[in-house]
Structure 1
């Protein structure tokens, strides 16, 4: 089975290399790993003790961020090394202030894992939610380095629980402790012999609550929204935007903020054409000559298109209703950021794999729609301020009752590793 695993890693890397000839993200994945091991060795100080955080991408970073930041705040002398698998995480967070070093994760080969662990020699490793790499886990285990998986979530259909998943179960045996989001994950791990499991929830709740209570205002968005009712659509895709464009024409007394999942120029151009009465955030930021003040812009334009990364989570503070994109594709994006601001949440039909979406619906805080008609009816239902407020309060309460995972993880890790937490 290890042979098949290694072959799979080789073929995956080969596929990315071929794709990099035309795909920018694939090219970034390849180029970011050129000369990576020597770069890491020349960057690190052999006399320092490093704590290693690994994240698949940006979403996992935001999920594990509360643990990293609390750990650093309580132990300022800790040296933090972050690795990312994906360019979408690395490129956005490569200059993250609380990390001493940020790298791509070298491909999971036996040679790379041995060299990386030898160079880094971490005091502990913390992986968030996903990402299970056999050779890295094996090297950490061989060197008696504690490995923690935080905000883990497991499902019956995963390879760990299949008859042919022996290698992957062996991989899990290298983990010192699992901190999982729900009881089902714990039960699944228990069934295959793992008792080193704590159910303590999802650290994303801690992150979104912190963000909602520490978010600074954004003048451009504030000037745009003024006293109007605001519909914020986050992480949207074309199928979402087509529905919202019709919604905007049906509800001209509402203003709309559209923050697409991708901000490539061609995508922004598509959205601009779809929403005729719109303006891009960057255009206001650059002070278009035809507008003397953003005040004038705000009175004339119905739709603001956020054409950069990093503003969405703060933009929710100006909303009355949130729409989360991705539900007409493989699955919805982050619903908790909007819920933490006390907004009713709407999303498409493909949400069942996301426990928080299911629970938000049960709580009366979220609504799933499958077409234009259902979106319109949902919007009509939320026209009444009291209805919006009741749904928003349910969303806010849901977030608040699920916080605390970060502190539980750090209390455990701090006690085992003798850290003053």
Structure 2
């Protein structure tokens, strides 16, 4: 009966989809009719891995690598689907059908996945309900439940508890595991955060820096953070006259809009940084992880301004460099804690970076601490495979 009312509400909301899309100027090519499509013949007998969008598509790479011959992907957004097809061309992928009971039931009955893996917390009630009815083993992998999500789910625990009882929750952390149990998941195990199994890029991007320079890299910056980066650069120049600041905006379209105070170059125009260049703007896609290796200090963007939540510091940590994150990086506070990455305010940033660049011992100790913490957290993929009965 609860699923029935959920489906009635969802069906009603579909009527407003074109209005919402127009009002929010939502881009993309996925229409509501696309979400009614249930054909996915390449799924039969395989493991279905469902993801949300672009960030999740990138994060599951270690798991996809291990299971690629046994795997098919569904993604919720068209941008996620495009990314999945680009980086996993050998793995069949499609948009997840709309979470209406008749559609989901038809999708699962027709395509017969052997197991369903849902990354982090993409909770679709009709999908979980149908999977339970059809006795398809279902797992939340690297499961997370934020404090905010927990409060929302808890308000509707009467609805979610029956859906969760047959789903295995493979948690990122003890906190996530405790929240999952409280919400009604019966089978809960801690496996860790899959993001920790990220590997260095297979192909490394080139960069040629003239002279012996100290380099600060700002990764995935948002509006307001470039100004902080410029101010930090100006204050440090008196002690480090050859300082180079590299800035990689999260959204590269913003690169040309940034008002840069001194001589600069764009990544799309050159890979050679002459000694007179103070700022290098990375306006290309997919190179940041590789370019981190050129930094002396890595500053994680989206974490020094509010309402973003920060970005993943792990890709920077694996290069054995000191990494710092801002106090607004709440979405990655657990990751920062596990990596022992310093969490700083804007006011603390100058003194901390200055000490790193002046004190070799302090620099070495922090680099070593972060890297060892990263190595300790690895191995999540194997723990997930063991938990789902797919040890390779």
C-alpha distance in structure 2 between counterparts of 1:10 and 1:228, whole Å: 60
C-alpha distance in structure 2 between counterparts of 1:378 and 1:11, whole Å: 54
Q: Which residue of 1 aligns with 2:250?
A: 261
Is 2:389 the counterpart of 1:410? no
Q: Where in structure 2 are there 5+ consecutive unaligned residues?
A: none
Among candidates 207, 216, 224, match of residue 231 of structure 1 = 216
Q: Which residue of 1 aligns with 2:164?
A: 172
Partner deviation per Cα, 1:162-199 (whole Å, 9 max, x = no partner): 25322122332241x11101122222333455331111
User: Is the Cα contact below 8 Å between 1:225 and 1:298 reproduced in 2?
Assistant: yes
C-alpha distance in structure 1 between counterparts of 2:210 and 2:121, whole Å: 38
Shift of 1:16: 5.4
C-alpha distance in structure 2 between counterparts of 1:227 and 1:50, whole Å: 53
C-alpha distance in structure 2 between counterparts of 1:201 and 1:61, whole Å: 18
In the TM superposition, 1:279-318 aligns within 5 A as 279-284=265-270, 294-295=271-272, 297-318=273-294
Is 2:203 the counterpart of 1:216? yes
1:304 alignment partner, SS class: strand
CA separation of 1:11/1:256 partners in 2, compared to 1, >3 Å: closer, same or farther? farther
User: Is the Cα contact below 8 Å between 1:82 and 1:102 reproduced in 2?
Assistant: yes
Partner deviation per Cα, 1:323-353 (whole Å, 9 max, x = no partner): 1112212311111111221222222222345
C-alpha distance in structure 2 between counterparts of 1:53 and 1:405, whole Å: 16
In the TM superposition, 1:96-107 aligns within 5 A as 96-97=87-88, 99-107=90-98
User: Is the Cα contact below 8 Å between 2:255 and 2:283 reproduced in 1?
Assistant: yes
CA separation of 1:21/1:189 partners in 2, compared to 1, >3 Å: closer, same or farther? closer
Shift of 1:277: 1.9
Shift of 1:205: 0.7
Shift of 1:106: 2.3
What is the aligned length?
382
Shift of 1:56: 0.8
C-alpha distance in structure 2 between counterparts of 1:312 and 1:12, whole Å: 39
Is 2:117 the counterpart of 1:126? yes
Q: Which residue of 2 aligns with 1:89?
A: 80
C-alpha distance in structure 2 between counterparts of 1:22 and 1:307, whole Å: 29
2:268 alignment partner, SS class: helix
CA separation of 1:374/1:105 partners in 2, compared to 1, >3 Å: closer, same or farther? same
Among candidates 315, 330, 334, match of residue 355 of structure 1 = 334
Q: Where in structure 1 are there 5+ consecutive unaligned residues?
A: 285-293
Among candidates 99, 109, 117, match of residue 108 of structure 1 = 99
CA separation of 1:202/1:108 partners in 2, compared to 1, >3 Å: closer, same or farther? same
Partner deviation per Cα, 1:61-99 (whole Å, 9 max, x = no partner): 233221221123xxx4x2x22111134422322233354
**What TM-score comes out, normalization by structure 2 length?**
0.87
User: Is the Cα contact below 8 Å between 1:55 and 1:83 reproduced in 2?
Assistant: yes
2:179 alignment partner, SS class: helix
Q: Which residue of 1 aligns with 2:306?
A: 329
Q: Which residue of 2 aligns with 1:291?
A: none
CA separation of 1:244/1:174 partners in 2, compared to 1, >3 Å: closer, same or farther? same
CA separation of 1:63/1:244 partners in 2, compared to 1, >3 Å: closer, same or farther? same
CA separation of 1:420/1:239 partners in 2, compared to 1, >3 Å: closer, same or farther? closer
User: Is the Cα contact below 8 Å between 1:52 and 1:122 reproduced in 2?
Assistant: yes
Q: Which residue of 1 aligns with 2:352?
A: 378
Q: Which residue of 2 aligns with 1:288?
A: none
2:129 alignment partner, SS class: helix
CA separation of 1:60/1:382 partners in 2, compared to 1, >3 Å: closer, same or farther? same
